[in-house]
Structure formats: structure tokens, C-alpha cells
């Protein structure tokens, strides 16, 4: 979601998300994978082959676009090669080259306008992305809608019901917590990420990944 607009990311999608925009991943699949490049204007230059230094005025026109698989594979190989570079100068040069290719092929690709969501749905998605423990009743009261109406709108516009979306966000936060504090117990991490109990977390994990949580509990 970018500023209240939902975009479907498929293989080969190129997306430009700008500083100042509210953007986050609503949902992903088990096999979802992507490259993320954080680009400062110090990397860019007044060069017609590169994205313009000041892109924010054209933010509305920067819809995600899907490039052919051959181009997607080429960009993937270029990005992979950059991970082995240790010199900042080489990394910067490689990033500029990658940006030039991505920008050119994005311009040649077709627009994906996405779908604009109801303001209450946008607000709920953003709140639950940061704090999935917040209840539907609580959020609907803030949005000025009934819980049932917000639930229906959310499912129709986001493609997931509220329970599934909140559970996915809890699992995402759980993995972030464990990545930053691997010595934290599974139970503590599950409770901190918004699950009401370890059993609730375990069921959600099994449903999502089909396996038991593969972490060593050190408590």
C-alpha cells in the first residue's frame, strides 16, 4: 500500500516508493522475495538515464509497473552481483547502473494504477501494520464506522479478512523481534508481537508455514 492505494506486486514488478510517502507491505506469500534499494539523492545525478533527483512532485505518476521476465532476471543478476562488492565507490557505480536499467524499463512498461481504498480501511491497515493487537471494535470506533462495515470493507479492498491480516502482521513482528533479539524465548516474543498465548502463536505459525517454529528456546 502506498498512500492509501493498494498495488499487487508480481514477478517483475518495479515500484518506486518515495520519502514522505506512507508505504508498507500489506501481505506476502511464503515464497515472496524482492530487492529493496534505498537511494539517496547523492547517488543520483542530473543524468537523463537516471530517475530525477526530485521525484516527489511526480509521485502520483509513479505507479508500479511490470517488466518482462528477461528484464526482471537481468535486474536480479545485477543486484546479486552488487552484494559481493566491498568498495563504496563500486557499490555506488553499480547502483547507478542498476537504477538506469530499472528506470528505463519501468518507463517502457505499462501502468498498474492500483485501487484506492476507503480512508477507514487505509487507517486500519496502517494501525494494524504497526500494532496488530488493536481490536476491530477499537479501530472502527476511531474511524466512525461499525465493526461489521469496516470488516466487510477491509476484506473487499485488501483481499484478506481482518483476522487473517492481523495474524500475518503479528507473525511479521514476531520474526523481527526474534531477528533483533534471538535469545528471547518463543513465548516472550509471541506475547510481545501481539499473540494472546503461545498456543495461539503456534497454531498461526503452523497454518502459515506448515511446520513447527524452528527456533531454539533458550529460557
Instruction: Assign 218 a pLDDT band (cuts: 50, 70, 90).
Output: very low
Which strand (E) or helix (H) includes residue 6?
strand 5-6
Q: Is the pLDDT of residue 216 over 50?
A: no
Confirm whether 216 is domain-assigned. Answer: no
212 backbone dihedrals φ, ψ, rounded to 5°? -75, 155
**Domain count of the chain?**
2
Most confident of the following: 50-54, 115-119, 146-150: 146-150
44 backbone dihedrals φ, ψ, rounded to 5°? -80, 170
Q: Is the pLDDT of residue 217 over 60?
A: no
Q: Is the pLDDT of residue 91 over 90?
A: no
If DSSP codes are grouped into helix, strand and coil, which group holds residue 36? Answer: coil
Packing angle, helices 69-82 and 88-108, rounded to 10: 170
pTM: 0.61
Mean per-residue pLDDT for 134-158? Answer: 91
Same domain, 50 and 101: yes
What value, to the nearest 5°, has the Cα angle with vertex 56 and ends 54 and 62? 110
> CA-CA distance, 117 to 108, in Å (whole number)?
27
By percentage, how much of the chain surpasses pLDDT 90? 27
Model pLDDT for residues 153-187, shown as the tens digit of each residue: 999 988 889 999 999 999 999 999 988 988 889 99
Q: What is the DSSP string of 170-210?
A: HHHHHHHHHHH-TTS-HHHHHHHTT-SSHHHHHHHHHHHHS
Confirm whether 163 is domain-assigned. Answer: yes
> CA-CA distance, 42 to 92, in Å (whole number)?
10
H-assigned helices in the chain: 69-82, 88-108, 119-130, 136-143, 147-158, 162-180, 186-192, 198-209
Mean per-residue pLDDT for 122-138? Answer: 91
Please, what's the b/e burial string for 35-52 (b: 16 or more CB within 10 A of its CB; e: otherwise)?
eeeebeeebbeeeeebbe
Same domain, 132 and 64: no
Q: What is the DSSP letter of 117?
A: P
Same domain, 168 and 142: yes
Same domain, 47 and 75: yes
For 40, the grid coordinates are: 539517496
Note the pLDDT of residue 219: 40
Mean per-residue pLDDT for 78-89? Answer: 85
Same domain, 145 and 184: yes
Same domain, 19 and 43: yes
Confirm whether 37 is domain-assigned. Answer: yes
Q: Range of 182's domain? A: 118-209
> CA-CA distance, 144 to 147, in Å (whole number)?
9
Mean per-residue pLDDT for 73-89? Answer: 86
Q: Which residue has the higher pLDDT, 131 or 49?
A: 131
Flag the least confident range among 65-79, 80-94, 107-121.
107-121
Mean per-residue pLDDT for 3-22? Answer: 79
Mean per-residue pLDDT for 102-115? Answer: 78
Mean per-residue pLDDT for 31-38? Answer: 78
Same domain, 158 and 71: no
Amino acid at each position: 500500500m502506498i498512500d492509501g492505494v493498494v498495488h499487487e506486486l508480481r514477478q517483475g514488478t518495479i515500484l518506486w516508493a518515495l520519502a514522505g510517502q506512507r508505504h508498507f507491505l500489506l501481505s506476502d506469500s511464503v515464497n515472496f522475495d524482492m530487492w529493496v534499494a534505498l537511494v539517496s539523492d547523492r547517488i543520483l545525478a542530473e543524468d537523463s538515464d537516471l530517475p530525477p533527483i526530485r521525484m516527489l512532485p511526480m509521485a502520483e505518476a509513479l505507479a508500479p509497473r511490470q517488466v518482462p521476465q528477461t528484464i526482471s532476471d537481468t535486474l536480479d543478476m545485477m543486484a546479486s552481483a552488487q552484494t559481493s562488492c566491498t568498495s563504496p565507490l563500486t557499490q555506488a557505480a553499480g547502483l547507478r547502473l542498476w537504477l538506469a536499467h530499472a528506470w528505463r524499463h519501468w518507463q517502457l512498461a505499462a501502468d498498474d494504477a492500483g485501487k484506492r481504498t476507503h480512508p477507514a480501511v487505509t487507517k486500519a491497515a496502517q494501525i494494524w501494520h504497526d500494532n496488530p493487537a488493536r481490536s476491530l471494535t477499537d479501530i472502527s470506533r476511531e474511524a466512525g464506522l461499525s465493526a461489521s462495515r469496516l470488516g466487510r470493507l477491509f476484506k473487499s479492498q485488501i483481499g484478506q479478512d481482518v483476522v487473517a491480516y492481523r495474524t500475518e502482521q503479528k507473525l511479521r513482528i514476531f520474526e523481527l523481534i526474534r531477528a533483533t533479539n534471538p535469545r528471547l524465548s518463543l513465548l516472550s516474543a509471541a506475547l510481545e508481537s501481539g499473540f494472546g498465548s503461545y498456543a495461539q502463536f503456534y497454531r498461526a505459525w503452523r497454518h502459515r508455514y506448515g511446520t513447527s517454529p524452528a527456533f531454539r528456546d533458550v529460557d
